[in-house]
Amino acid sequence: MKYKLIILAAIAALAAGCGGSQKPVDMTKTDNTKASNSNKFETGIVVEKALSSYVRLPGQLKPFNEVNIFAKLNSFVKQIYVDRGSIVHKGQLLAVLEAPEMTSQLQAANGRLLQAQESAGASREKYRRLKEASKEAGAVSPLDLDNALAKMKADEAVASSERSNVASMKDVQDYLNIRAPFNGTIVQRNVSAGALVGPGKAGDQPMLILQDNQKLRLEVMIPENYVDKVDLKQKVDFVFNALPGKQNSAYISRSANALGSLRSEAIEIDVINKDGSLKPGMYSEVKIPLRSGAKSLLVTSNAIVQSTERQYVILVKDGKAVFSDVKEGISSGDFTEVFGNIKAGEKVVLHAGDELKEGTEIK
């Protein structure tokens, strides 16, 4: 009897399990729900407004004038009067060179000049005598007088040519005296007495490097995106890294009006350096003022997608994802300035990634 009760209880439990309300899972329906949810993305709007009244850019000091001094002809350094750090004035003698062949050439030119002058003097005297004699009828034929005149003019022309040749040789010989072209400081000396020097070629070291550091050029490279926004009527504020806390300001002195290899335009600010505290090569942080009312296109920073090949935002056009390449500008809080083929008011996808493909429907 006991065994019959156990068997009946087991059968009842089995019947209860088979008669439950549990239903099989519809896998197709679950997948469709996930696919539907995957097209729902958070979106934002491209806005247009003034992001900042200035932009911070690095600047570098350069000498106002700088020249590499070379010899004008092949020669030897006879004596040099300056060294690195020497302060010189315009026209000051910096070095004396020597070229023995130049001395010989000048002596030869002087000899030819004396010979030409003697010939011209003799021709002049002969013509004078013939002209005096021609006053008596029949004493000198007109042909002889004309020939004497032609000979005198030819000899005088030769003498004049030799005189110019000697002057030219003296000018060339004066090239052996190296003088300062402007006031400044010798910042580099590469030769000593006895060194062979000559006209500079690509890659050759100059004899001396002269810089004018009483006034310096602060060069700043303006990115292409800001070139048309710079306000040239306002002063520029800048601080040198080597002199923190000392604020400076000046107007932009000149601009290149052309983009360089880095797609940026060079501007220069003249900086007076009477006390010599500033040195060429110093870096500074420069606040370039932008024109009031200059507006930029802004998107939230998480709308910009970075990949190994490109930088872009994903626009929503006609309900589909459209990729648009952009360049980043100034960042301010959660927003970033962008440049590219986008317009204010367009819808962009936020928090997008590489998994979102172009042409995907966006809900």
CATH number at residue 332: 2.40.420.20
Q: Structurally, how many domains does the chain consist of?
A: 3
Which of the two residues, 52 and 344, has the higher pLDDT score?
A: 344
Last residue of a domain, one of 175, 203, 236: 175
Query: Is 358 part of a structural domain of the chain?
Result: no
Residue type, 91: G
Q: How high is the pLDDT of residue 39?
A: 63
Mean pLDDT score, 137-164: 84
Residue 306: pLDDT over 90: no
Domain match, 267 and 304 both: no
**Contact between residue 125 and residue 149 where contact means Cβ atoms under 8 Å apart:** no
Are 270 and 328 in a shared domain?
Answer: no
Q: pTM for the full model?
A: 0.58
Q: Is 259 left (phi over 0), alpha (psi -120 to 50) or beta?
A: beta
Q: Does residue 136 have a pLDDT over 90?
A: no
Other C-beta atoms closer than 10 Å to the C-beta of 154 total 13
Residue 233 sits in which domain range? 55-65+212-289
What does the pLDDT read at residue 29? Answer: 44
Examine residue 122 and state whether it is found in any structural domain, yes or no.
yes
* Mean per-residue pLDDT, 147-159: 87
**271 and 309 inside one domain:** no
114 part of a folded domain: yes
Q: What is the mean pLDDT of residues 331-337?
A: 75
pLDDT at position 183 is 93
Same domain, 232 and 259: yes
In a domain, 218, yes or no: yes
Beta bridge partners of 361: 320
* CA pair distance 352, 226, nearest whole angstrom: 28
Q: Confidence class of residue 80 from pLDDT cuts 50, 70 and 90?
A: very high
90 located within any domain: no
List the structure tokens of 37: 């949810």
Asked if 299 and 339 sit in the same domain, the reply is: yes
State which of 148, 175, 202 marks the end of a domain: 175
Of 21-25, 134-138, 180-184, which range is least confident? Answer: 21-25
Same domain, 153 and 131: yes
Q: Answer whether residue 49 is part of any domain.
A: no
Residues 161, 122 within the same domain: yes
Instruction: Examine the domain organization and report whether 308 and 333 are in the same domain.
Output: yes
Q: Are residues 302 and 273 part of one domain?
A: no
Residue 294 pLDDT grade (very low, low, confident, very high; cuts 50, 70, 90): low
Q: Is residue 85 part of a domain?
A: no
Higher local confidence (pLDDT), 75 or 23: 75
Q: Which one of 119, 150, 175 terminates a domain?
A: 175
The CATH number that applies at residue 149 is 1.10.287
Do 59 and 109 reside in the same domain of the chain?
no
Say yes or no: 146 and 131 in one domain.
yes
Q: Domain for residue 41, yes or no?
A: no
CATH value at residue 283: 2.40.30.170
